[in-house]
Each structure stands twice: as structure tokens, then as C-alpha cells.
Amino acid sequence: MATSESVPTGTENDLRQYFAAAQIQGRQCMETGMKNLLVRIALSFVLAASSVQASVAAAATDQSITAAATAEQKIQRFRPDEVAVLFVMGQSNSAGLNGLPADFVLSGASGTGSSAGGMPAPNVWGIRNDGWGNIAGNVDGSGAPFTQPISAINQVAWVNWSDTTSSDMNLGYYGGSGNAADFAAHAWQSAINAGEPLPDLYIIHIGWGSQGVDVADDAYSGCCGWTMHGVNLWQPMLDATKTPTYGLAPFARRMMYLGLKQILATGKKPRILGLEWNQWEAEAVPQNSAGNVTTIRRAPENYANLFSSFFGTVGSEFPVMIVKPLSVAFDNVANAVAPYDPAAHASMQKVFGGFIEADPRTFSFVDASQSPDWNGRPPDFGIFQGGSLGGGDGSVHYNLDTQKWFGNQALASCLGRSQLCGPRITALSKLPPN
């Protein structure tokens, strides 16, 4: 039950050296050699340091992106041939629990999308999940297994962002439309409408409830569709060739690669604003077959594999904005399965804090304790319930005000004073990732 079991030790330079090597290796990150290297490195991570405020989160306020588009802020951040790309991924808090407020609805290119009556979004694009039409078989996760592997997906189509109060552009499954991706899309279009000289924004959003990065994350093995048919986790080393296969990590890599390839085919060059990662709860829940100490102890290796596989897919490191674990719902749970870490959220903060300390230029926290609604009083802390927009469930799922704040933070580094808009991608490997 000792919490020290959940945190390995080593030297801080190990992470720096690993991610430098991962950037050079690119696609080779997905080969067997990467896995062996990661295992050796993960055993020597330093994760005992306290969690660190990220530069984005430290400077963040809940001011609207529209307000930032004042005359002095109207600076050309992109070349004429560039577009912006944002990844939003994770589990249920990435998918969202509550519906999108009507005032934030976007309605496609000219108000003719699925939510006619909302604000047109001619400058924001996504990949729509039309009944999982990308793969023959399953419709929404509740039907028969898919009949093709993820590797059978060979193209995607970008469409203008269109959402409603009840549905959105999430390529995952489960949850509501009131999530960071939808709020970020609205904020970007609003900034352009206010005169900010910005290019089009392309968002890939994959949020799926109850899914983690470890093979033992089986607390809800029957939840949320895909798990009834096979593996449906963010396990980084799952591949895309098995049939049927439901791995979120290979699916995400496929969508990232094909989405960027489609952009490059138009003559534009993507700038990767970053990945906003909102997932940790599956590692912290104590009801799974291994307790939670095991999954927390293996988390550094798992996340190193996952993030590096994304870097390899793109061919470059890019900012990873990690939503800081703050819910205490998984601490001190009665009758928890042993081995059990009674301070799970603090241990997961140390896991992510290790990445940030080792490479603060790549990794940062999105820390909702710095948001305007934070009051410091458990269990809702002012961010898991209430707020002017409402929502949340009181202890685990964020309210809509905080989701809106997450959407703004995903864009803050680029649209704020730092004007850091991520790496420019000019080419991809010839073959998509496995």
C-alpha cells in the first residue's frame, strides 16, 4: 500500500536524452528497438520532484481569445503557406460530459452544417465521425465488431467544424459536446472574426471514456462500446493490423498521419500547436485487477512510449499540454483492490511532473487550479461543478466553464504574448505508422 512503490527513480537527463533520440529516429520510434530502449529508460526516470506549473498554465487567465485580438496583438504569427493544427485527446474529460452551450455552437462553412443557427466556421476544420464510416462494421461502438483493421483506413476528409449542443467532431465515443476541442474551435474562429491574422485551424479530437495506457486498466471492461469487442485502450504499443482491432493509440497515429498528409497535399504546411492530453483517471482507479500502484508505477514507460509514437508519426516533437490531475475521487477509496495508492492523484502529478522537469520546452501542465473558478474546496473545487455555464459531476468531470478554459489554454501559447505556434511540418514518412 506504500505510495513510494508507484514512483521509479533515476536521473533527470534520461528523459531529455530519450526524447532527443526519439525526434531523430522519427518513424523508427514504432519499431521493436524503441520499445526495448524505453523499457530501460523508464526504469530510471526521476519522478519524485514536485509538480511544476507549465509556462502556458502559469500565464493563463480565462480571458476570451476574442479579447486578445486587440490592435497591439494583431501580429502575423504564420507564413502565408501555413495552417495551424491542434490535437485534443484523452478519456471522458476529453470527450466531455455535458452539452455545448448554444452560444458556442459552430455551424460549418456558412451556417449550413448540422447545427444551422450557430456561428459559421469557414476557418476551422475537423474530421467527422459519421458512424465510424472510416471502417466497415461497427456503427457507434455498440454493434458488431469492425470487420477491418485500423490499418485499412487510407484517407480522411477534412470538413468545416460543425457541432451542436449534443454532438460534435469527436472521433472517439462517449460524452457530451461541451469539451475543449469545441471551445477551442469557437475561440479560433472568433479571433479571426475579430481581425486576428490567423490561418485556418485543423483539429483532431479523440476522446473516449474510461480508457488508459496500461494493459491492466480494466476497471470498466464493458463500458463505452469498443471494450466489449476487444482491446480499446490508449496502450501505446498496440498495432493497427489486427482484425478486429480497436486500439486508440494506433487509431490516433493513423488519423494524425492521414490528416497531415491531406493538408500537405493542398500545398499548405502544418504548424502543430500541440496536443492537449486530458487522461489519467484510468491509471488511478483502484478497482482494476492490479490495484492502481502497478499501473501508476508503469505509467512513465507507457506515456513515454505513447508521446514518442506521436512524435514519430509527425516526424517532430511538438508541445504536449497535460491537464494536471486534480480530482481526489480516487484517493482513499474504501475496499480498494490491493496494491493501492491512497494518494493516486498526487502520484500521477509526479508522473507527469517528471516529463515536464526533464523537458519543459515540450511538456507543460494545464493546471485548472489556476483557473478563475478554482476555490480549493473539495470535492468539487469549483471546477467539477457549478460555474456560470454549469455542468460537471461534482468530483471527477469538469464543469463547462473549465472546459472552456481548457480550450483557451490549448491556444494560449500561440495567441498569447509568447507567440509560440509549434513546429512547421514540411514532409512525412512515406508509409503511415503501424
Fold annotation for 3-415: Rossmann fold (3.40.50)
Whether the pLDDT of residue 13 is over 80: the answer is: no
The residues pairing with 274 across neighbouring beta strands, listed in sequence order, are 86
As a whole number, mean pLDDT of residues 38-46 equals 36
Whether the pLDDT of residue 52 is over 70: the answer is: no
Distance CA 308, CA 178 (A): 29
pLDDT digits (tens, 9 = 90+) for 234-262: 999 988 887 766 688 998 999 999 999 99
Q: pTM of the predicted model, to two decimals?
A: 0.82
Whether the pLDDT of residue 275 is over 60: the answer is: yes
Of 264 and 127, more confident:
264
Of 116 and 161, more confident:
161
Distance CA 62, CA 405 (A): 6
Of 15 and 94, more confident:
94
pLDDT digits (tens, 9 = 90+) for 371-387: 999 999 999 999 999 99
pLDDT digits (tens, 9 = 90+) for 386-399: 999 999 999 999 99
**What burial letters (b/e) apply to 382-410, b meaning 16+ CB within 10 Å?**
bbbbbbebebbeeebbbbbbbbbbbbbbb
What does DSSP assign to residue 413? H
Q: Which strands sit side by side in the sheet containing 320-323, from one edge to the other?
A: 159-160, 124-126, 201-207, 82-90, 269-278, 320-323, 363-366
User: pLDDT exceeding 70 applies to what percent of the chain?
Assistant: 73
Distance CA 261, CA 34 (A): 24
pLDDT digits (tens, 9 = 90+) for 323-339: 999 999 999 999 898 99
As a whole number, mean pLDDT of residues 129-144 equals 51
As a whole number, mean pLDDT of residues 127-131 equals 65
User: What are the domain boundaries of the chain?
Assistant: 3-415
